[in-house]
Chains A and B, each alone.
Chain A
Amino acid sequence: MDPQQAALLVEPDRVAAALSEALAAIAAAATPPDLAATRQLHDGDRSPLALANRALGSLPPSERAAAGARIGAARTSIREALLAREGLLHQQWQAATLRAERVDVTEALTRSEQQRPRVGRGGRHPLSTIAERVAEVFTALGYEVAEGPEVEAEWFTFDALNIPADHPARSMQDTFFVTSGESGVVLRTQTSPIQIRALLARPLPVYVIAPGRVYRTDELDATHTPVFHQVEGLAVDRGITMADLKGTLDHLAQAMFGSGLVTRLRPSYFPFTEPSAEVDLQCFACRGACLTDASVACRTCGNEGWIEWGGCGMVNPRVLRGVGIDTDTYSGFAFGMGLERTLMNRHRIVDMRALVEGDIRFTRQFGSAL
């Protein structure tokens, strides 16, 4: 390009004029298509400032920097104005569109329902249905279903269950605390506080089953989830024995996993039961054959013959006294097990994440009952 012509193109006055023209045009653009045209005109390849920019190369080197800065600043201003106007027009356009799309919402109910759109097949989450199934097994035994809040007082979650403030058992379960450590409120770490609420609210004898969601500060992985489900069973009556507990667990095992299965109890410790035990479920896949027959390799139980299932015991007399029950006359048992584990075993679900991700393909497999 001719240097003189180039010098003309980059003159300060000329650049300033191009800028003010562009800003005025942008402000005047009333619709998104208007604005698009304005952009082409003032920020496009053939816009005055684009041409000026191309002329820089033909300038004497000493003038290039100043002219370049001038043009750059003007173009930046134009682009910022375009962006701002674009946002505003989009907002206006959207507001107008939303206004135009307005409907008479009562038509949803006044219209005849001749043509409802079809959606795919539905399904219930298997954790919901297995909780109902367990509850059903126990209502058939004369139990009632008890409930309690998920955000629960520490007193119901720990103190009333014989877990005093400074007892190591309090830190056994990694607890979510609400607001501050002193709020007295936690996300329940187990369904056991429902025991206390049931015993306070119901006349004796008490036979209740209590499925519910519980929380611990575990990260989600293939075998852990911070939010999971338990089912709690409680029987308090005259002469309740540990044999009753064993028989009840066997009954549940058979109802959930197949006739003839039994459970095994191993001594353990829970503050709210004494004696306490871990419950193992006889492997429903090999029924313990892997223990006696070396040729049987069982993946379900990992050749242990048993599957860890939950915890149980005789309700600690301290707990019963704490709800005003005469322990000379009454005794009770309680048990709790994870519904995720039960479900995973029952349906060979290998990864916990399947239960929490909400993949509709997973849930649809189960239909509406188990």
Chain B
Amino acid sequence: MRVPWEWLGELVDLPESASARSVADALTRVGLAVESIDRSAAPFTGPVVIGRVLAVEELTGLRKPIRYCAVDVGAEHGGTRSIICGAPNVAEAAHVVVALPGSVLPGGVAIAERTAYRRTSQGMICSGRELGVSDEQAGILILDPSDTPMTVGEPAARVLGFDDPILVVGVTPDRGYALSMRGIAREVGLALDVPFHDPVSMLHPGTGSTGTGSTGTGSTGTGSTGTGSTGTGWTGPADAPTVPMAEAAIVASATIAAAEGADRLVLRTLTGLTDAASPAWLSRRLRACGMRSISAAVDITNYVMLELGQPLHAFDRSRVSGGLTARWAVAGERLQTLDGIVRELSPADLVIADDRGPLALAGVMGGASSEVTADTEAVILEAAHFLPVAIARSSRRHRLTTEASRRFERGVDPQVAQAASVRAAGLLADVCGAATVGVAEAGVPAVSAPIVIAAGHPGAVAGMPIGADEVRSRLISVGCAVADVAGDGERLTVTAPSWRPDLSEPADLVEEVLRLRGYDELPATLPVGRGGRGFTLRQRRRQQVGRLLAGMGAVEVLTYPFTGPISWQALGLPPDDERRQAVRLANPLSEERPFLRTEMISGLLEVAHRNNARGNGPAVIVECGPVMRPRPGMDGPVVHPAVDRRPTAAECAALDALLPEQPLHLGLLDWSSGEWAEPIRWIADLAADLGCTIAVEPTADAPFHPGRAALVRLAGGQVLGHAGQLHPEVCAAYGLPPASGAAEIDLDRLLDAATEVIAAPLSSHPVAKEDLAFVVADDIASEVVARAIRDGVGPLIESVTLFDAYRGPQIPAGLVSLAFTLRLRAPDRTLSPAEIRAARQAALDAAARVGAQLREEA
């Protein structure tokens, strides 16, 4: 909401010392955050100043009347200037606006000294239209110094209301009332503790409002005076011309046929409308509030909306057949809205319709067929109260957010419709000469239900004493009616004012009391949880994984989990790869990456590529995070458990069933070592740190080198993931060294498998080492031989490690020589030579069973 300073000053008695900054701070403190302070920009530039006409010389003998004026423009602009002027209303002593040479007026009109009628003109005396402040072009703009103080020579922008500060208030969705000058001014009054003049109470008594409930308590606390400034056209309807009864036949009737959508409809029929330009003050305020001036009739409806928060709509009476009804649309009905779009209506759309069909999308936008035009002589002015949900739904369905829909969605004062109608009628009478011929009404809006609150409750919530008197007075100050339940001051019955539909529970009232008291006064106390067990084992292991990897030299990165076919292609995933089964976003940021990631490696490849491009690395990078995998049944029916009670276990299960699987994965990318085995060793070390051992077997799965990557399993056989060298095409696609490696594992599974350490007894007896080399078929994995040896030797074997693998001319083709070191040790004794020989023989026998023959003594 944009709040022009001069307008605000009309509704609140701002103290002399108040500045836009100080008011902004005060508003922010009570919960209306002022996001910025704008200045209304003038539509002209350069020396456009206030001048005073000193003398007017009528030039005669010309085809049209021309006057040659001496104008004082102030010493700083050269004192008295001579200016030619054609306007009939230029007069001595008049205060005028002078555009001096060098200035540029709206439309790019550059002003320079010129000669005409054999006289030199040193500038231009401007009309309202030339200055862009009004549409008035019949004469020059004459300013009234008693209305706005001004000095000769000062820039005209301020006097014309252009340099006025504008508070830009961020209105939170709960405070619909603050989308009006009335609402903002009330808050400024509260924030500064100064009188607020409710524009609704300023309307003519007796017709201004539909009842006492709406405004009765609202303004009394701050002393409404009932007399506003008169500079901006305040006229009650009593001043408006009346028309004979005979014309009442054209008065539109009002009907509500959609009780769930509308509860108030006030239709005022006016005739005698003439097409007029908006007065300058009105168009200036609209502009300051960010709205365009269209025509006086439309501008007035917008102005009253800004002033009172009540959206209004004017229909051309001659294009309406019969009365108007607020009803639900019928399937198949269509409406061309004012933006020119023909909209298919649904039964969930609330419309204003006449005998023939829908004329407006209620609370959102009017229709083209009944639009007010320059020829319109009679209008029906609609002031209604629509229910927020109905308008929100239509607005969302038609993707159409308007000033009206924003207000209705956030809650319009249901009692202000009549007052707004009266206010608009007064302005239409003044500006357009329109006269009310009749008013029809329908509906009685619901009144706020009383809230019972313990007087001590706000203090209890705040954690500091707040007396019952203070609670009472603060609630009254925001417009609530407050009564004692039992007369003891312990419990209060509070009725919220009509403009505060957001106040419906004691907690809402607590906020009102506390925000006005000031959050700064809250004390600070520190509660502590009871029996907290610290991080869970799993959480500690997560942290352990992060620290271990960093300690081993990996750099952690966090990538966006968005992906798409481009990445899958680059990884070389076959068409039926399950990693191509992904969860899709309805509104992705990039059409190339509309899916959620199903694997970690492509994200890491991009990061590696970026680092390479910056000359960083080589390095090892890691990321831990979820991957998302569609779950069967996740496209089942959506459940909507009620929110006024605890959901059942079945409801919670049904909600969780909508979600994809989101296992935690670990991805690693190594473009540093150039060794295919390194990624496998990283995983083995990580597993070992968590008390797990892994086993590997060859795999040809993408994105890996088909002969240099492994499927990684836990000792129990469960698949953890993949590790090894990347396929050369993948490395090439991301510009990485050809032997770069990667790993991806299901970290959840590894954490699940993590075990508490049971300390092994350590033998202090000496170790016996035996080196054995075998020749074995090339397709027998070294692990098969090592395991055979381990199993064959039994408890005495401490470890079997490969120290050489040889393929080449020294041995037949198709065979490999594997050399192992065996470490033998007993827990309770030094092994005897016989025991060592027996163990060695057991190893040879076991190796032979898997086809490995002893090659030679190593």
Stretch of B206-214, B484-492, B579-587 that contacts chain A: B579-587
Kindly identify, within residues 101 to 153 of chain A, every residue whose CB is under 8 Å from any CB belonging to chain B.
Answer: 101-113, 116-125, 127-128, 132, 135, 139, 141-145, 149-153
Bound form: Cα–Cα A142–B554 in Å = 33
Question: Is residue A200 within 8 Å, beta carbon to beta carbon, of the partner chain?
Answer: yes
Complex: A314 Cα to B619 Cα, angstroms: 47
Task: Give per-residue flags for B651-682: 1 if the beta carbon is below 8 A from chain A beta carbons, else 0.
Answer: 01001101110100000001011111110110
Q: Is the CB of B29 within 8 A of A123?
A: no
Q: Nearest-CB distance from A207 to chain B (Å)?
A: 3
Q: Does A266 sit within 8 A of B, measured CB to CB?
A: yes
Binds B, one of A1-9, A30-38, A275-283: A275-283
B23 CB to nearest chain A CB (Å): 15
Q: Is the CB of A110 within 8 A of B783?
A: yes
B30: chain A residues at CB < 8 Å are 267
Complex contacts, B805 vs chain A, CB 8 Å:
104, 107
Which of A149, A181, A235 makes the CB contact (< 8 A) with B529?
A235
Complex formed: what's the CA distance from A143 to B388 in Å? 40
Q: Which of B67-75, B330-338, B634-642, B834-842 participates in binding chain A?
A: B634-642
- Interface of chain B residues 570 through 621 with chain A (CB within 8 A): 583-589, 596, 607, 610-611, 614, 616-621
Nearest CB of chain B from residue A162's CB, rounded to whole Å:
7
Q: Contact at A318–B505, with CB atoms within 8 Å?
A: yes
A135 touches B514 (CB 8 A): no
> How many angstroms from the CA of A166 to the CA of B261 in the assembled complex?
14
Known: A119-B620, A123-B555. A266 touches B532 (CB 8 A): no
Question: Which of B508, B528, B645 has the most C-beta atoms of chain A within 10 angstroms of its own C-beta?
Answer: B528
Which of the listed residues A98, A275, A278, A316 has the most CB atoms from chain B within 10 Å of its own CB?
A: A275
Contact of A321 among B31, B616, B644 (CB under 8 A): B644
A105 to B694, CA, bound (A): 13
Closest Cβ neighbor of A160 among chain B residues: B643
The chain A residue with its CB closest to the CB of B512 is A275
Cα(A261)–Cα(B647), bound, Å: 41
CB distance from A362 to the nearest CB of B (A): 9
Interface residues of A in 219-247 (CB under 8 A from B): 219, 226-227, 235, 237, 239-244, 246-247
Which residues of chain A have C-beta atoms less than 8 A from B507's C-beta? 274-275, 314, 316-317
Please measure, in the bound complex, the distance between the C-alpha atom of A355 and the C-alpha atom of B284, giving whole angstroms: 46
- Interface majority SS on B: helix, strand, loop or mixed? mixed
* B554 contacts A117, C-beta separation under 8 Å: no
Give the complex CA separation of A108 and B711 in angstroms: 12
Instruction: Name the prevailing secondary structure of the A interface residues.
Output: mixed
**Contact in complex: B555, A360 (CB < 8 Å):** yes
Contact B526 A141 (CB under 8 A): yes
Say whether B584 contacts A120, CB under 8 Å.
no
Residues in B with CB closer than 8 Å to A61 are none
Number of A residues contacting the other chain (C-beta, 8 Å)?
119
| Residue A85, interface by CB 8 Å | no
Question: Is there contact, CB below 8 Å, between B655 and A156?
Answer: yes
Does any Cβ of A come within 8 Å of B464's Cβ?
yes
Say yes or no: B641 contacts A267, CB within 8 Å: no
Task: Give complex CA distance A62, B532 in Å.
Answer: 98
Assess the A217–B619 pair: CB atoms within 8 A. no
Tell me whether A151 and B529 are in contact (CB under 8 A).
Answer: no
The answer to whether B524 touches A243, judged by C-beta atoms less than 8 angstroms apart, is yes
* Closest residue on chain A to residue B622 by CB atoms: A122
A359 within 8 A of B: yes
Q: By the criterion CB–CB under 8 Å, are A111 and B803 in contact?
A: yes
* Contact status B782-A104, CB under 8 Å: yes
A interface residues, Cβ below 8 angstroms from B:
94, 98-99, 101-113, 116-125, 127-128, 132, 135, 139, 141-145, 149-156, 159-160, 162, 164, 166-169, 171-172, 176-185, 187, 200, 205, 207, 213, 217, 219, 226-227, 235, 237, 239-244, 246-248, 250-251, 262, 264-269, 274-278, 314, 316-318, 321-324, 331, 355-361, 363-364, 367-369
Given contacts A109-B684, A128-B558, A247-B524, 10 further A-B contacts (CB under 8 A): A111-B677, A111-B803, A120-B553, A124-B556, A149-B626, A150-B561, A178-B583, A185-B634, A207-B529, A262-B524
8 tightest A-B CB contacts, nearest first: A324-B646, A102-B707, A241-B463, A142-B529, A243-B463, A207-B529, A267-B31, A106-B783
